[in-house]
Each structure stands twice: as structure tokens, then as C-alpha cells.
Amino acid sequence: MQPIEENKDLIRRLVRAMNERDWRGVRNTLHPDFQRHSHAAGESVVEEGEDFVLLLRGQFEAFPDGQEEILDMIGEGDRVAARHRFKGTQTGALGPFEPSHRSLVSEYIAFYRFADGRIAESWAEWDNLSALEQLGHSTEPN
């Protein structure tokens, strides 16, 4: 398998582990110096893999039926860009928001960098406003 295909396969393994709530499997895809960058979630950098696992656990506590899907992937060099879709029903608290019991379907874009056969870094961004509107958590401006 070519390195780019191996990297894409690693993203597939990450998503499969997330969907199965296999946190050890998630950890196994991440480089020891893993970092995640995202302004959509309020934090700019998650500094290590264990913090990323905690972030995912919180996401799936808010959306116990949540599932990730990979829609597209393109790779070049040590990087892969992916378009993902998340689907789930918010039956748990999401940050300051109480459970809405509403469904969310949200696509997001992520870029991944690989080192030593693992995911070393990721950048993920999505439309938070649309997600909050779907869940009934946003209000119209006055």
C-alpha cells in the first residue's frame, strides 16, 4: 500500500474506533505528540491525544447515537484532507446547552498530518451556527 493510502486507512480506522467508542483504538491511531487545532469548538489547540479522547467522549456523551462518516479524502505528501459527516441526537448536555433531543446532521472539513505511521496533527472546522440552529440552541438577533 502506498503511504497516502496508508494514511487514508488510518483515518478510516480512527473513524471506525470513534463510532465503536473504542477509545484504545482511537489512541492507537494518534502520534504521541498529537495536536488538534480547531476554532469551531472554542479551543484552539488540544495538546495531546488523551485530551482529544476526552473531547470525543464528551461529544459522544452529548450524542450517544452519534456516528461519523467519511465522505471524501484527498492526500498529498504527509497530509490528507477529508470531508466528514456527523449524525446524532443530542440527549446529553453539550457544553452549556441542555439536551434538546433533536437530531444533528453536520459536515465538517479536517486536514491531517502524519508522522511515524500515526496521525500527528489535525485541523478541523465546521459551521457551529448551523449546528446550534439544528439543535434549537440559537436565537434570532434582536
Neighbouring-strand partners of residue 114: 119
Domain holding 37: CATH number? 3.10.450.50
Query: Each residue of 16-36: b (16+ CB within 10 Å) or e?
Result: ebbeeeebeebbebbbeebbb
Is residue 91 situated within a structural domain?
A: yes
Is residue 141 situated within a structural domain?
A: no
Is residue 62 situated within a structural domain?
A: yes
Give pTM, 2 decimals.
0.92
- Alpha helices in the chain, H assignment, sequence order: 3-19, 23-29, 49-62, 128-134
Domain containing residue 57 = 3-134
pLDDT of residue 86: 98
Q: How many domains does the chain have?
A: 1
Question: pLDDT tens, position by position, for the chain (142 residues)?
Answer: 679 999 999 999 999 999 999 999 999 999 999 999 998 766 677 888 999 999 999 999 999 999 999 999 999 999 999 999 999 999 999 989 999 999 999 999 999 999 999 999 999 999 988 999 999 997 665 5
Q: Which grid cell is 5? A: 493510502
Is residue 114 situated within a structural domain?
A: yes
Is residue 38 situated within a structural domain?
A: yes
pLDDT of residue 1: 66
